[in-house]
Amino acid sequence: MLTSASTPIKSVAVVGAGLMGRRIAGVMARGGFRTVLTDANAEILPAALSDAQAMCSDVVELSTSADIADAVSGVDLVIEAIVENLEIKREVFKIMRASNAEAILATNSSVIPITAIASELADTSNCVGMHWWNPPDLIPIVEVIRGEGTSDAAMDLCFEALTRAGKLPVRVERDVPGFVGNRLQHALWREAIDLVASGVCDAETVDLVVRNTIGLRLAEMGPIENADYVGLDLTLAIHEQVLPSINSDPFPSAHLSELVAAGNLGAKSGSGFLEWPVGSREAAAARLSAHVSSQLSAQHHTD
């Protein structure tokens, strides 16, 4: 088991070289960590490596391995970024631990608690949640989540390594599904979908209102500071009035389920709440990256 006197993390294996994993590997290599990237599908590794290398200078230590056990063996930290499936993640955690008894095992799961993923390991003190946001090279926050057995040393070492990699880690002290960011995000999405489903307004209007009201503010003032800023007496009065009619269903919207059942999956199928003509998905990705980059650079200028 690691102790608080453990040496800092120097080497990293990223398991899963898809959308997230290849960029997480790029961030860690760029931050000075010896990094190896692996995936069950060896065919994607050359393209994944070249995407990760494009984020780095020539001097970084970044490689790939088609063998997960080899990639994981001997490293200080493993970041798992494979498919979001509890059973598959559980199996991969057992394989990773069998090949490396000492490493901190971290999962980039979006919503599945680390306690569930690591539940079949004998010792979970070196298992943490490490939730990066997409695109992981741009979005500063990484949520570091304490599972039921996670040691202070494992939390501290991950926090320190992510800081060295140029990220803004935050501690999530209880292993709740969705952690902090996704709970907040999906509380908003549940209400957004319900407003459309119940005919209060159309889908375009929901996004227009969000982007031109709370969306304008949120990057500068979070909900807690904003509540204090407007006054907690006003916040209380608003909640007494509005909370009883805000959706609180503990299950997904029937409207959402119907869209999915009909094959209307959004951008990837051409139609969802909105229409997505060919090329519009790529245009949206570029628009989003450009906006996030310009917001971050504006923030750095005013820090």
Complex with ligand NAD: residue 2 or 72, whichever CB lies closer: 72
Q: Which two tokens stand for residue 274?
A: 């909105």
Among 15, 45, 105, 145, binds ligand NAD (CB under 6 A): 15
Among 17, 27, 72, 127, binds ligand NAD (CB under 6 A): 17
Residues 30, 165 contacting (CB under 8 angstroms): yes
13 sits near ligand NAD (criterion: CB under 6 A)? no
86 sits near ligand NAD (criterion: CB under 6 A)? no
13 Cα distance to chain centroid? 17
Residue identified by tokens 């004998």 is 122
Catalytic residue among 6, 63, 119, 182: 182
User: Could you give the C-alpha distances from 85 to 123, 271, 297, in angstroms and in order?
Assistant: 22, 26, 36
283 sits near ligand NAD (criterion: CB under 6 A)? no
Among 109, 115, 124, 126, binds ligand NAD (CB under 6 A): 109
The one segment of 106-114, 208-216, 222-230, 240-248 that binds ligand NAD by CB under 6 A: 106-114
92 sits near ligand NAD (criterion: CB under 6 A)? yes
Residues 171, 146 contacting (CB under 8 angstroms): yes
82 sits near ligand NAD (criterion: CB under 6 A)? yes
SS3 label, residue 79: strand
Complex with ligand NAD: residue 32 or 178, whichever CB lies closer: 178
* % helix, strand, coil for the chain, step of 5: 50, 15, 40
Complex with ligand NAD: residue 32 or 266, whichever CB lies closer: 266
DSSP code per residue over 140-188: -EEEEEE-TT--HHHHHHHHHHHHHTT-EEEEE-S--TTTTHHHHHHHH
Q: Rounded to the nearest whole angstrom, what is the least distance from the CB of residue 101 to ligand NAD in the complex?
A: 19
Angle CA(158)–CA(184)–CA(112) in degrees, nearest 5?
Answer: 55
265 sits near ligand NAD (criterion: CB under 6 A)? no
Binding mask 24-53 for ligand NAD (x = CB under 6 A): ---------------xxx--x---------
Q: Rounded to the nearest whole angstrom, what is the least distance from the CB of residue 295 to ligand NAD in the complex?
A: 18
Q: Which of residues 126-155 bind ligand NAD (CB under 6 A)?
A: 132-134
Neighbours of 161 (CB within 10 A): 27
Complex with ligand NAD: residue 10 or 171, whichever CB lies closer: 171
Say whether the peptide bond before residue 135 is cis (omega within 30 degrees of 0): yes
DSSP state of 44: G
181 sits near ligand NAD (criterion: CB under 6 A)? no
Active site residues: 110, 131, 143, 182
Binding site for ligand NAD (CB under 6 A): 15-21, 39-41, 44, 68, 81-84, 88, 92, 108-110, 132-134
